[in-house]
Structure 1
């Protein structure tokens, strides 16, 4: 090989990433965004904008309104046991019957379920009230319809004793009469139910069938549970076919195993390797890189904020107790410590990844604050990443459609992952920053950079880290369990392509704007001025930050002495 040919070859291998938006890419981005908007936004809005039952636009009541409805209902009832409020600060969480929601989604039974969504919905607010019943503390849980505020049912979580012990209480209560009265107070008529005295079993539980409530193979019972001559539970309960419950259980168990082995343990291994790499190259790594330190702090800080935002609702949801009764100090300390460790891992991953890529033919993929071109590259990478985000939205929509039609994929609900159970749901879109920084930093930047030292091919090297990242989403409520890993394996390779061709910042911004739009969409479409303003603010925030950094960097460059 001649010297001229060798020089050209080396220059080609070490060429800087391209930050130009081509016409074909822009057209593909617009088409992708239109496909996403049509399939995932416009069509669902047209289908569910009007409720067939009520002929009016469906909207959600607030948690405060739900709490007021629950308290009003409690005060209006003539409970057999003395009942008083212990605290005037109720906790409201979003609760859901994910098995029923999944069955309806899989069997395409949304329209058939609609007539029953008012009295027996799978989504509901659960208002948790601290009360005193029978002289002892208890928790009263009242289910409220999220759209019209109707009381659906209630349940006492405790079993405080009344004046007489359980073993000697005589059955003087007319169970059928009390059950009928309770059911009527919850909006059901006797003609809708099949109430028989024989429905009472040895556990003092009366299950009343609703003969007309058949949605596919799902049936509806109304359960009334007595204890010490008092009604302690009254609520509608859906029973889905055993075949579906078995399938969902198997899918969930498989997903849990994959998550534990494929994500948790493999991510731990990557964390150890990042630390080892930093020790190995400690003399060649700039540990005081302001850019990497800032990225790590931003990601870790948002994660800590999210834990504070998440824990009260999550604990109330799991244990069925008001937030005021929860001591969260230890949970915050433990989860906070784990999050800080993850922030340290991200820091080491970014450092080690930078060293590994600098040793490869793909150089200059991540200019930092100390680089003269940083202020110019950052806004170009942002706009290019935003254009790619439009394309990715279309690709994601196509993947979901292919999985749904070709593999029978379906989704369900998950209260533990819902923004409705956050202290401040308005902070939810901030997670887009954390996800983009941490996931691109650990799996694309470090994971691929590490493995390509051994296989010498970034595409083969990117397979394992991308799979690990994909397995981290396997427990999302989408079935079959492999649906999200397949989707994210494809998306991950697109992110890798963007990074190799256009640099780390472009891949990060493509990931950021993709997640940012998806997480802000509910606010943009919420129908309120405040919600739309908040959604728009989250979309504009990256622009303000990036151009602010550009101006600061330009001032720094201008202050440098001329050579």
Structure 2
């Protein structure tokens, strides 16, 4: 495959860097606060300090001494979204941030009295902002419950004259809610919630109850995202079946060893990441009337995810296998083989083009986000299930960039464009359709309205698609890995510790290191073999 001229790609890469800087630092340049800026809290206390604060509090409650602890980061996504959607960030920060934080630590405790507690701890001052004891005991009568709840609020320093008690919910007779008469932000009203079971206080929390209209709007958006994710799964499975069928049909033309190492790399890195995400899976486990986070539930989720990843690995492998003969039929050599003399040099050149393309696409993505924020009122909320704070080893997170690059470029570019080119006989549609399918899988991220993410990823997919046709598979593989590595490394370095900054810089250089190692190995093995043959 002749090496295309890429001097213009360097100019576009510089443009991408400029776009990234300008759009991300726009408030600094203009002096205007970003009205849709994500509400994030950088912790001032460690998880260990949060666990200690929770254990001390539970002991003071009379719950006994803690025998085990587990800490996760949690976030009130509904409140965060409401504050941003209604452009009330400044008001919230000045009036409610300390009292009702959006981000907090959740500590699960077991005590020597055979009791389970869940304690929410403020991430900056270490104060306890809510707690719950696991209990299946019966609810009190309405009169006794109100008397006990009011006594608890008085003891907590809450003036009862400032509150009105809401009628108990028939589905939660153990819960007694007191709504503040004046304290609210927008239509989100301040409430104190006391739960009583078996004649004793079993839980307490303070909340800003967002209006039902916001609940309904978010639920509709989440349903739309879920439907698009389901379409991605259905269409990706159909593409996978097509890849397997075509691999069988063209089996005599396929080198089945090709793609094995990429598939193994994908599987190993993804399985490591799933284990690393144990705290993140625990944030998803507790629901309903028993919101405690169980390790068994999290382990089940990890097992299911490992099975799903194995299935994705199979689809990716057969996508690589089946794409080969279809591109050869068109006379295109988009993925050189190891035994070819130019493989090592092509890998090195692909890495260089990949960095330049990644800078361009990163700038385009930032521009699309900026336009969506300014013109389409897009906003994002924190997602505990994808947070750096909910990883056992945050330093391993940027390795995930390679899993996305390998599987998505194999399925939606190397195979996807080939199969839709064959079916639709149009280059543009062959690039567009798999880009849309790819975009469907990205709408589950907590970015609203969800259609903005679909449009953004589809447009980026078109850029990746035409870059693939121009430069080949290795270039878009390195571009995708580099772009995701940059974003993930920025998140890692944002944790603030010097070791994370150093590791982030290492990860950013990793694509270059990987390409250099492949080039040297190829030169040492294939190059010497060619010399002996000659």
TM-score, normalized by length of structure 1? 0.85
Pair 1:482-2:468 in alignment: no
Q: Work out which of the residue numbers 262, 271, 275 in structure 2 matches 1:304.
A: 271
1:278 aligned residue (247, 258, 267): 247
Q: Which residue of 2 aligns with 1:9?
A: none
Instruction: Determine if contact 2:283/2:384 at 8 Å carries over to the other structure.
Output: no
Question: Which ranges of structure 1 fall in alignment gaps of 5 or more residues?
Answer: 1-14, 49-56
Q: Which moved more, 1:539-548 or 1:268-277?
A: 539-548
1:84 matched to 2:69: no
Between 1:462-471 and 1:440-449, the stretch displaced more is 462-471
**Alpha-carbon contact 2:281-2:301 (below 8 Å) kept:** no
CA distance in 1, matches of 2:474, 2:146: 74
Which one of the candidate residues 40, 46, 49 is aligned to 1:62?
46
Assess if the C-alpha contact under 8 Å between 1:17 and 1:501 holds in 2: no
Shift of 1:175: 3.9
- 5 Å-filtered alignment, 1:72-221, equals 72-77=56-61, 79=62, 83-85=63-65, 88-115=67-94, 116-131=96-111, 137-160=114-137, 174-181=148-155, 183-184=156-157, 190=159, 194-195=162-163, 201=168, 203-211=173-181, 213-221=183-191
Alpha-carbon distance between aligned partners in 2 of 1:328 and 1:110, rounded to the nearest angstrom: 33
> Is the partner of 2:414 in helix, strand or coil?
helix
Q: In 1, distance between residues paired with 2:148 and 2:313?
A: 61
**Against the structure 1 CA distance between its residues 472 and 44, is the aligned structure 2 distance closer, same or farther, given a 3 Å change threshold?**
farther
Structure-1 separation of matches of 2:200 and 2:131:
13
Q: What is the aligned partner in structure 2 of residue 252 from structure 1?
A: 222
Q: Post-superposition shift, 1:410?
A: 2.0
Residues 409-466 of structure 1 show CA distances to partners (whole Å, capped at 9, x for unaligned) of: 2222322232322222222211100001100000111011112123333321122211
Change (3 A) 1:484 1:17: farther
1:204/1:339 CA distance change after superposition, 3 Å: closer
1:498 aligns with 2:467: yes
Q: Using the alignment, how far apart are the partners of 2:145 and 2:414 within structure 1?
A: 70
| Secondary structure in 1 matching 2:437 | helix
Taking the aligned partners of 1:327 and 1:451, their CA distance within structure 2 comes to: 40
Shift of 1:376: 0.6
SS of equivalent residue, structure 1 residue 474: coil
Deviation at 1:301, TM superposition (A): 1.1
2:196–2:203 CA contact under 8 A, matched in 1: yes
Offset of residue 525 of structure 1: 3.1
Mapped to 1, the partners of 2:495 and 2:16 lie a distance apart of: 23
Rounded Cα–Cα distance in structure 2 between residues aligned with 1:360 and 1:468: 24
- Alpha carbons of structure 1 residues 58 and 268: separation in structure 2 relative to 1, 3 Å: closer
**Corresponding position: 1:25 with 2:9:** yes
Q: Deviations over 1:221-263 (max 9, x none)?
A: 1112222332111111111122222111111112212221x21
Alignment of 1:16 with 2:2, yes or no, is yes
Contact 1:470–1:484 (CA under 8 A) maintained in structure 2: yes
Against the structure 1 CA distance between its residues 409 and 557, is the aligned structure 2 distance closer, same or farther, given a 3 Å change threshold? same
Equivalent pair of 1:466/1:493 in contact (CA under 8 Å) = yes
| Contact 1:129-1:322 at 8 Å conserved across structures | no
What is the alpha-carbon distance in structure 1 between the residues aligned to residue 185 and residue 373 of structure 2?
Answer: 21
Q: Could you state the TM-score of these two structures normalised by the residue count of structure 2?
A: 0.89
How much does 1:153 deviate?
Answer: 0.9
Q: Report the equivalent of 2:378.
A: 409
Contact 1:70–1:142 (Cα < 8 Å) also in 2:
yes
Residues 370 and 212 from structure 1, CA distance in 2 versus in 1: closer, same or farther, beyond 3 angstroms? farther
Q: Which runs of 5+ in 2 are unaligned?
A: 34-40
* CA distance in structure 2 between the partners assigned to 1:519 and 1:410 by the alignment: 20
RMSD of aligned alpha carbons? 2.9
Partner deviation per Cα, 1:287-336 (whole Å, 9 max, x = no partner): 122xx11111101111111222224541354224455x527665544432
Residue 440 of structure 2 is aligned to residue 460 of structure 1: no
**1:366: Cα distance to partner?**
1.0
Distance of aligned partners of 1:288 and 1:247 in 2 relative to their CA distance in 1, 3 Å threshold: same
In 2: Cα distance, 1:158 partner to 1:40 partner:
47
Do the aligned partners of residues 42 and 513 (structure 1) sit closer, same or farther apart at CA in structure 2, a change above 3 Å counting? farther
- Equivalent-residue separation in structure 1 for 2:299 and 2:105 (angstroms): 26
Matching of residue 295 in structure 1 with residue 265 in structure 2: no
Deviation at 1:485, TM superposition (A): 1.0
Distance in 2 between the 1:510 and 1:348 partners?
22
Residue by residue over 1:342-385, the C-alpha shift from the partner in whole angstroms, topping out at 9 and shown as x without a partner, is 21221111011122111114x12111322211111112111111
**Most deviating of 494-503 and 227-236:** 227-236
Within 1, Cα distance between the matches of 2:335 and 2:299? 39
Q: How far is the alpha carbon of 1:402 from its aligned partner?
A: 1.7
Secondary structure of 2:106's match?
A: strand
Deviations 1:13-71 (A, max 9, x none): xx6351x431x4323322322332343368489999xxxxxxxx954432222111211
Any conservation in 1 of the 2:64–2:112 contact (CA below 8 Å)?
Answer: yes
- CA spacing shift, 1:70–1:248, aligned 2, 3 Å: same
Shift of 1:139: 2.2
In structure 1, the residue corresponding to 2:350 is in which secondary structure? helix
